[in-house]
Amino acid sequence: MTELKMKEMQIIHWFGCPNLNCTRERIHLAAMLDYYRIVCEN
């Protein structure tokens, strides 16, 4: 399985979670990680 495929599967698994709280938490975490990545780059 390629790296991209693994990431796609992970995203599908995360956002396919029937528990909305779980999904909301993951979106929040992803947003925070992305924010830190941008801040660290500058």
Q: Tell me: the pLDDT tens digits for 2-42?
A: 776 777 777 766 666 666 666 777 788 888 888 888 888 87
Q: Which domain holds residue 29?
A: 14-41
Closest CA to 15 of 7, 23, 4: 23
What pLDDT score does 14 carry?
66
Inside any domain, residue 33: yes
CA–centroid distance for 1 within its chain: 19
What pLDDT score does 15 carry?
64
Contact 15, 26 (CB under 8 A): yes
What pLDDT score does 17 carry?
62
What pLDDT score does 33 carry?
87
Inside any domain, residue 20: yes
What pLDDT score does 1 carry?
55
Inside any domain, residue 7: no
State the total domains in the chain.
1
